[in-house]
Amino acid sequence: MTAIKGLEGIVATTSSISSIVDGVLTYRGYNIDDLAEHASFEEVAYLLWFGRLPNAEELQSLQQDLSDFAAIPDKLIEQMKLYPQDANTMAALRSAVSALGLYDEAADDMSPEANEKKAIKLQAQLPTIIAANARIRQGKEPIAPKAGVSIAENFLYMLRGEQPDETSIKALDQALVLHADHELNASTFASRVTVATLSDIYSGVTSAIGALKGPLHGGANEAVMKMLSEIGTIDNAESYIQEKLNNREKIMGFGHRVYKNGDPRAKHLQKMSRELGEMKGDTSLYDISVLIENIVTGQKGLKPNVDFYSASVYTQLGIEHELFTPIFAMSRVSGWTAHILEQYDGNRIIRPRAEYTGLTDQKYIPIDLR
Ligand code: ACO
């Protein structure tokens, strides 16, 4: 047995949800470029769960369900108020989603209908949890979700306590479409491993949130913003990046396990970042980002991934950097739950082997002789 570190190149399952072939990302056969231009996030979530785009009536019905399920239990809000105020926002989300399962009487109902309903509930409730936690951290009262509006609009409304502008809603909606699914990424794999033991969907999503939190995965977008803040002005960018490269440090938001010629999602976020900067009359964050890209791609051949330009997009939307990875989660929960439903349907426990590199032929020595 020879280990393949990081399972690189291992095909661990079949899936009909999303694919990456020759650098092209598709959801259920639809190119991500097409969906990013034309589809709403709700349409994409429907597509991921049910395998086809909804008609008008089906979309309306899903939007109604998402609205109906968006509120979270008062007891969960009370619990969240007890979290340390400076708790990591992904740790808070992980804890809250785990607790959410406690309040769902159908948490362990493994019928396909119950699991489908829980997938929609989780999608509806994650934005509410994230916005509530953000407000609690600021010492403010959470705001109840609004009925009849999109997830992007509702999230910004619950976060800010006022009606968001159309540009922000559209930008966030497009970002959610771009983050919705991504084949067998680390967090999706974690969710599938968990539910392949026939554990419940809340456990699967909790595992996924834990995996997404890390800076080599979803946590990179927050780390990118930290880097942009440390750089501050464009004059500092070159020396800052050069020093990191000289020290063989990783530049967050660059590189990818699967894409070696560029992440197809990055160009949409780059365009969004530029347009938001131009609209606000300040493209400094975008300009610094482009300069970093030129240096890193020029010297290392590494291209930006989805996390790189999403950092400047969210910042220009006035969103605090601690919420970047939770926003990733609030989109990716559509993909996680689609994969969880697919895993349940034709499940086999996921249990690989390890190449043993430890000691052998050890003889037990009584404790008083050691
Ligand atoms: N900056 C500098 N060098 C890098 C970077 C980077 N961002 N990414 C990879 N490299 C280098 C590595 O140091 C390594 O060089 P070496 O062969 O000289 O040692 C080589 O490129 C291969 O990199 P690995 O880390 O082995 O590639 P792997 O496929 O294991 O990792 C990963 C992919 C984790 C995304 C990596 O590129 C990385 O750490 N990037 C920064 C974090 C990041 O942006 N993560 C978000 C990914 S997208 C997502 O999850 C949503």
* String of DSSP letters for 17-58: SEEEETTEEEETTEEHHHHHHH--HHHHHHHHHHSS---HHH
Locate all alpha helices (DSSP H) within 149-281, ordered by sequence: 151-160, 166-179, 186-195, 201-212, 220-231, 234-246, 266-280
Pocket test for ligand 1, best of 8, 254, 261, 327 (most atoms within 8 A of CB): 254
- CATH code, domain with 188: 1.10.580.10
Number of domains in the chain: 2
Query: Do 60 and 87 reside in the same domain of the chain?
Result: yes
Quickly tell me which residue has 């390890």 as its tokens: 354
> Does residue 107 lie within any of the structural domains?
yes
- Ligand 1 centroid, distance to 252 Cα (angstroms): 8
pTM: 0.96
**Phi, psi dihedral angles at 270 (to 5 degrees):** -65, -45
Percentage of the chain modeled with pLDDT above 70:
100
Residue 361 domain flag: no
Cβ(268) – ligand 1 distance below 6 Å: no
Q: Is 12's C-beta closer than 6 angstroms to any atom of ligand 1?
A: no
78's CB contacts (< 8 A; 6+ apart) are none
Mutate to test the pocket of ligand 1, among 18, 182, 216, 240 (most ligand atoms within 8 A of CB): 216
Q: Which atom of ligand 1 is nearest to the CA of 253?
A: 44
Confidence of residue 31 (pLDDT cuts 50, 70, 90): very high
Does 255 lie in the same domain as 163?
no
List CB contacts of 207: < 8 A, sequence separation 6 or more.
Answer: 190, 191, 193, 194
Q: Is 306 in the pocket of ligand 1 (CB under 6 A)?
A: yes
Q: Evaluate: CB of 250 within 6 angstroms of ligand 1.
A: yes
Dist. CA 336 → ligand 1 center (Å): 23
Q: Establish whether residue 244 lines the binding site of ligand 1, counting it when its CB lies within 6 angstroms of any ligand atom.
A: no
The CATH number of residue 299's host domain is 1.10.230.10
Residue that has been written with the tokens 């910004």 in this structure: 156
- Indicate if 51 and 65 belong to the same structural domain: yes
Q: Is 256 in the pocket of ligand 1 (CB under 6 A)?
A: yes
Residue 238 lies in a domain: yes
Residue 182's φ and ψ, nearest 5 degrees, are: -160, 60
| Model confidence pLDDT, tens digit, residues 221-236 | 999 999 999 999 999 9
CA-based nearest residue to 307, from 331, 337, 276, 340: 331
Could you tell me the distance, in angstroms and rounded to a whole number, from the CA of residue 255 to the centre of ligand 1? Answer: 5
Is 213 close to ligand 1, i.e. is its CB under 6 Å away?
no
Looking at the fold, whether 111 and 136 belong to one and the same domain comes out as yes
Ligand 1 centroid – CA 253 distance (Å) = 9
Cα-to-centroid distance, 202 and ligand 1 (Å): 30
Residue nearest (by alpha carbon) to ligand 1 atom 30:
257
Q: 301, 316, 331: which is the final residue of a domain?
A: 316
**CA atoms of 315 and 317, how far apart (whole Å):** 5
* Residue 1 predicted with pLDDT over 90: no
Is 268 found in the same domain as 155?
Answer: no
β-sheet with 30-31: strand ranges across: 18-21, 24-27, 30-31
Kindly state if the Cβ of 329 falls inside 6 Å of ligand 1: no
Cβ atoms of 336 and 187 closer than 8 Å: yes
CB-CB contact of 79 with 99 (8 Å): yes
- Residue 76 shares a structural domain with residue 186: yes
Average pLDDT over residues 6-22: 96
Q: Are residues 81 and 186 in the same domain?
A: yes
CA-proximal residue: ligand 1, atom 37 (nearest):
255
Q: Does the pLDDT value for residue 256 go beyond 90?
A: yes
Last residue of a domain, one of 270, 298, 316: 316
Q: Residue 231: its pLDDT value, please?
A: 96
> Could you list the active site residues?
256, 307
Q: Whose Cα sits closest to atom 26 in ligand 1?
A: 257
The residue contributing the CA closest to ligand 1 atom 36 is 255
Ligand 1 midpoint to CA 8 (Å): 13
In this structure, the answer to whether residues 231 and 189 fall within a common structural domain is no
Q: Are residues 98 and 184 in the same domain?
A: yes
Assess whether pLDDT exceeds 90 at residue 260: no
Assigned domain for 274 exists: yes
Instruction: Give the pLDDT of residue 280.
Output: 92
Which residue range forms the structural domain that includes residue 163?
A: 15-214+321-344
List the one residue out of 255, 254, 289 whose CA is nearest residue 272. Answer: 289
356 domain-assigned? no
Exposed e or buried b per residue across 298-325, where buried means at least 16 C-beta atoms within 10 angstroms of its C-beta: eeeebbbbbbbbbbbbbbbbebebbbbb
Q: What is the pLDDT of residues 106-131, one digit of tens each?
A: 999 999 999 999 999 999 999 999 99
Kindly state whether residues 26 and 134 are assigned to the same domain.
yes
Q: Rounded CA gap, 148 and 165, in Å?
A: 16
Would 97 be classed as within a structural domain? Answer: yes
* Position 76 in a domain: yes
Closest residue CA from atom 14 of ligand 1: 250
Lookup: tokens for 256: 């990818």
- 132 and 102, same structural domain? yes
185-234 pLDDT tens trace? 999 999 999 999 999 999 999 999 999 999 999 999 999 999 999 999 99
What mean pLDDT, rounded, does the chain reach? 97
Domain membership of residue 39 (yes or no) is yes
- Does the CB atom of residue 210 touch ligand 1 within 6 A? no
Based on the fold, state whether residues 329 and 235 are members of the same structural domain: no
With contact defined as beta carbons under 8 Å apart, do 53 and 46 qualify?
yes
pLDDT > 90 in the chain, percent: 99
- For ligand 1, whether the C-beta of 251 sits within 6 Å is yes
